[in-house]
Structures are given as C-alpha cells and as structure tokens.
C-alpha cells in the first residue's frame, strides 16, 4: 500500500475529501478518510470545489440547460455496435426481437414491489427486468411542431457557418433531435451482461491496461482477492501522467452516471405512477469503503478530477465565445442574447476558480513521444465514444454519447490552447471552431458533473439522517 501511504503523507490534515468523508458518517471508516485528502495530479481542495459548485455553478448551469439552445441534442441512436453482435441477453432493444410478453410477467411484479432488489435472479426476474428496462430506457421523442420547424432554421444557420472540424453523423437520416429535459438521466433498469460488457471493454481494452496487471479495472468485475489492490495502485502510480489521467476520466464518468442512477432511482411504482428519488442503499452499495473494499472514496475522487478538467476547459474556451459574432442561435434574438449572457457569466466564474488541473504538464515530454501519446490518447477516446453505440438501452445510450462527446470536446479545447489564443478577432470562419453539437454536449456534460457533486452533498445529509 505504498501509494496509499504516500497519498496520506501528502494530504494536509483536515482538508478536502477527508473531512467530507468523515461527515458522511461512520460508514466511511476514518482510516480510509485519512487516506483520501488531496486529489492526486492536481492541487485541489475538495471543500472549495463543493462550495464553488453549490453556490456558483450549479444554479446557473441548471438555468442554462433549460434554454432551447441547450435542451435539444441531435443524436443518432440507431448506429449499430461496431465491435460485437448484440448478444441481446436483455439488451433492451432485443426485447422486441425476443419478446418478453407482458402476460408472462406475474401481476405482483408488474405492479412493482420495493423488495425487487433482494430477489434472486431467475427467469421471472429477468423477464421483469427486461420489461421494466424496456419501458424506462425508452426515449420520449415528443417535440412540438414549433420546435421541429425551428430545427430546420437552425440547421440552415449551422450550415452557413464554416465549420472546420469533423462533423458527427449529424446529417444521417437516423439522427434525431431529443429534448433532454424530457429524458432525464436516471435509473432505467439497464444492467446485466450487456451493460457489464460495455464497461468491461472500456476499462479492459481501452484504458492502456497492460496484460501484466491481472486485476480487473472494471469496478463491476468480482474482485479476485485481498491484496491485488497493491499491484493495481503500483501500476497506476507507475503510469505516465497522461495514461493515469485517462483512467481517472473514465472512472469519473462512470461514477457520475452511477450517482445519477442512485439519486434518481425508481423507488416504487403504484398504479403506473413511478416515484423517483434517492436510494441510499444503492449509494452505500456502490461507494461505501467497506462494501467496495476501499474503492468507493477513490472513485469519488475521480469524479472531482473530471469536474476540474471540464471546468478548466470551460475557462479556456471563453475567448472563443466572447467574440461578439459568436451567438447561440435559435432565431429568437432576445432569447439568444440572454443565453449568451448567462454562458459568459458562467465562464467568468470558471476563470475565478483558482485550482485547476494544469494540462500543460500533460504531453510535455520529448516532442516526438508527446505527439504520439496525444494521438494514442485521442484514438482511445474516440474508440470509447464508438463503444457507446453498443449500449443496449436508448436512454443510457443518449446520455453516454452526450457525456463522451462533452468530455471529448473538453479535451479538444484543452489541447487547442494556442489555436484559441490566436483566434482572429473579426473572422468567424477561421481557426478553432466548435459545432452546435459540441457546445451542447460540453455544457450538458458539465451540467451532469455539477449535478453529481450536488447529489453527493444530498447523500451526505441523507446518511446523517438515517443513522
């Protein structure tokens, strides 16, 4: 455990996550809390992040996400998985092919019972899960006629902008606008082998993991023993900064998604009316140091790390938006001006927050090595965004794609610092560009992280009350 001891030595006593985890109550063992003071790889005090997020960022970003420009995201949910044939074992789309007939599901289960979770898995349970996930994972594609007309106008406007970067498959006839406000990220019942496989291939095949490390990176995989943690953390410490960062970003994304599922859990369903809320048991199951063999707090730190990376990207991209001719076009001049004011206000806040990750130290090795590493980094990340097409539940796929695109955009910004600094003052189509899609993904992805950090505070309170 040399790495853990090192972290403890570096941690200033009584600061940061340590305090927070202590406040979370006795379920966080004090020993573990002591080990988790400071975020590695950047100088950060978690308490300041919490305050900054709660009082400044969170309320503003919530408002921004409700504006028309940011609430409609164009996405293609029909792209086939490029890596494996849908195995379909309650991969939700296949519920149609291999129907899970409602008549087979016992009425007691359909009505929804709160002890679902403790039931042993068997065929009935699988059918039930499949049916529930099918329903909860579906996208609500309701759009008003008015918005549909507006989208045609938006597309025309976007086309008239000279975008220099690679466009997604936005032009595919399968790409559709989705109203994000109607499709909140929450529990969908999507789990089992299909979900497992997606995360497993991300962690095992796309996180620079060498064969010599036996321990699975995937937190969903069963642990093989008590002390393989040591070799894992030695390995992680031994990685160059860039690869370590990559792993942390992915882990942070995973944590954020799980936090949303815990905070928006289907608590019960009576007469077809679902009740959503915080599921403390699920939270403990995923993040408690004892139940997770000490992994929970480490994973939560990765969430903060990811938050800082995206925060940094926002502060870096500000000059791009500060130019007067960059607008958030929806065709409504007044609304567009308000959206922009709000966005610039958030940028000012991000710039005022002093403790950011310093990406200058990344890819700073010898020139040739740094360049190929950066390229490797980019390819791995791109690959992960393609794996999102293998997610078997539409709603999860939507949020998975949005959040990877958001993080991808953040990385693009961080590695385009020079280009952003050198943007011509009066020439809209020259130099660094962002598409509407990238902007929407960037803001909504960051909004998710902001919400996750807020939800962490909520769980802290809930845990105090349940003790």
Ligand X SMILES: *[C@@H]1O[C@H](CO)[C@@H](O)[C@H](O)[C@H]1NC(C)=O
Contact footprint for ligand X (CB under 6 A): 83, 119, 122, 124, 140, 142, 145, 182, 201, 205-206, 379-380, 383, 387
Main-chain phi, psi angles of 177, to 5 degrees = -80, 140
Q: Supply the minimum distance, in Å, between the C-beta of residue 90 and ligand X.
A: 16
- Going by the DSSP 8-state scheme, the letter that residue 222 receives in this structure is P
Annotated ligand binding at 276? The verdict is: no
Q: Supply the minimum distance, in Å, between the C-beta of residue 334 and ligand X.
A: 24
Q: Supply the minimum distance, in Å, between the C-beta of residue 168 and ligand X.
A: 18
Annotated ligand binding at 278? The verdict is: no
44 labelled catalytic: no
165 labelled catalytic: no
Which of the residues 95, 207, 390, 393 is marked catalytic?
Answer: 393
Dist CA 147 CA 176 (whole Å): 12
Annotated ligand binding at 199? The verdict is: yes
Q: What is the dihedral of CA 77, 321, 409, 260, to 10 degrees?
A: -70
Q: Take residue 40 and report the two structure tokens written for it.
A: 């590695």
DSSP string, 358-370: -GGGTT-SSHHHH
Query: Tokens 């200058």 appear where?
Result: 360
Dist CA 226 CA 212 (whole Å): 18
Dist CA 87 CA 242 (whole Å): 34
* Cβ closest to ligand X, residue 60 vs residue 386: 386
Q: Supply the minimum distance, in Å, between the C-beta of residue 142 and ligand X.
A: 4
- Answer yes or no: are the C-beta atoms of 36 and 5 closer than 8 Å: no
* Cβ closest to ligand X, residue 270 vs residue 324: 270
Query: Tokens 């695109």 appear where?
Result: 405
Q: Supply the minimum distance, in Å, between the C-beta of residue 236 and ligand X.
A: 19
Q: Take residue 433 and report the two structure tokens written for it.
A: 């560009």
* Cβ closest to ligand X, residue 314 vs residue 387: 387
- Answer yes or no: are the C-beta atoms of 245 and 308 closer than 8 Å: no
Residue 35: how many other CB atoms lie within 10 Å: 23
DSSP string, 126-188: HHHHHHHHHHHT-------HHHHHHHHHHHHHHHHS---SPP-STTSTTEEEEEGGGS-----
Looking at beta carbons, which residue is closest to ligand X? 201
* Cβ closest to ligand X, residue 387 vs residue 441: 387
Q: Supply the minimum distance, in Å, between the C-beta of residue 204 and ligand X.
A: 7
Annotated ligand binding at 20? The verdict is: no
3-state secondary structure of 266: strand
* Cβ closest to ligand X, residue 32 vs residue 129: 129
Q: Supply the minimum distance, in Å, between the C-beta of residue 391 and ligand X.
A: 13
* Cβ closest to ligand X, residue 111 vs residue 182: 182
* Cβ closest to ligand X, residue 118 vs residue 334: 118
3-state secondary structure of 67: coil
- Going by the DSSP 8-state scheme, the letter that residue 205 receives in this structure is H
Burial of 421 (0-12, 13-18, 19+ CB in 10 A): exposed
- Going by the DSSP 8-state scheme, the letter that residue 55 receives in this structure is I
The residues assigned a catalytic role are: 393, 396
Q: Which residues are annotated as a binding site?
A: 186, 188, 199, 251, 254, 286
Q: Which residues are annotated as a binding site for FAD?
A: 186, 188, 199, 251, 254, 286
């Amino acid at each position: 455990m040399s790495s853990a001891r090192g972290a403890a030595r570096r941690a200033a006593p009584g600061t940061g996550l340590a305090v927070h985890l202590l406040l979370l109550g006795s379920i966080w063992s004090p020993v573990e809390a002591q080990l988790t003071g400071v975020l590695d790889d950047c100088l950060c005090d978690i308490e300041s992040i919490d305050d900054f997020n709660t009082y400044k960022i969170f309320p503003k970003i919530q408002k921004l996400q409700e504006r028309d420009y940011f609430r409609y995201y164009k996405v293609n949910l029909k792209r086939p998985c490029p890596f494996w044939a849908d195995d379909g074992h309650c991969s939700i789309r296949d519920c149609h092919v291999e129907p899970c007939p409602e008549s087979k599901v016992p009425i007691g289960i359909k009505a929804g019972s709160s002890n679902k979770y403790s039931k042993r898995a068997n065929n009935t349970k699988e059918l039930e899960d499949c049916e529930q996930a099918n329903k909860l994972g579906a996208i609500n594609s309701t759009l008003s006629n008015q918005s549909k007309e507006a989208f045609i106008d938006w597309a025309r406007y976007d086309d008239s902008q000279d975008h220099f970067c690679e466009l997604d498959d936005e032009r595919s006839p399968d790409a559709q606008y989705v109203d994000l406000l109607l499709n909140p990220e929450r529990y969908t019942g999507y789990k089992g082998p299909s979900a497992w496989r997606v995360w497993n291939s991300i962690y095992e095949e796309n996180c620079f993991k060498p064969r010599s490390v036996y321990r699975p990176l995937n937190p969903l995989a069963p642990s093989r023993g008590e002390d393989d943690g040591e070799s894992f953390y030695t390995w992680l410490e031994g990685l160059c900064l860039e690869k370590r960062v990559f792993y942390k970003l992915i882990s942070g994304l995973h944590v954020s998604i799980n936090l949303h599922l815990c905070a928006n859990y289907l608590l019960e369903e009576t007469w077809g009316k679902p009740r959503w809320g915080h599921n403390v048991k699920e939270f403990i199951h995923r993040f408690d140091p004892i139940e997770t063999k000490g992994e929970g707090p480490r994973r939560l730190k990765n969430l903060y790390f990811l938050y800082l990376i995206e925060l940094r990207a926002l502060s870096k991209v500000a000059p791009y938006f500060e130019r007067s001719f960059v607008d958030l076009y929806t065709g409504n001049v007044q609304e567009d001006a308000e959206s922009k004011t709000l966005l610039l206000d958030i940028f000012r806040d991000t710039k005022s927050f002093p403790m950011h990750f310093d990406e200058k130290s990344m890819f700073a090795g010898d020139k040739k090595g740094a360049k190929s590493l950066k390229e490797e980094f980019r390819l791995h990340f791109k690959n992960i965004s393609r794996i999102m097409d293998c997610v078997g539940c539409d709603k999860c796929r939507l949020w998975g794609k949005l959040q990877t695109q958001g993080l991808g955009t953040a990385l693009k910004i961080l590695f385009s610092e020079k280009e952003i600094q050198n943007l011509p003052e009066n020439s809209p189509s020259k130099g660094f560009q962002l598409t509407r899609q990238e902007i929407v993904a960037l803001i909504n992805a960051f909004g998710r992280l902001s919400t996750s950090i807020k939800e962490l505070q909520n769980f802290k309170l809930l845990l105090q009350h349940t003790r």
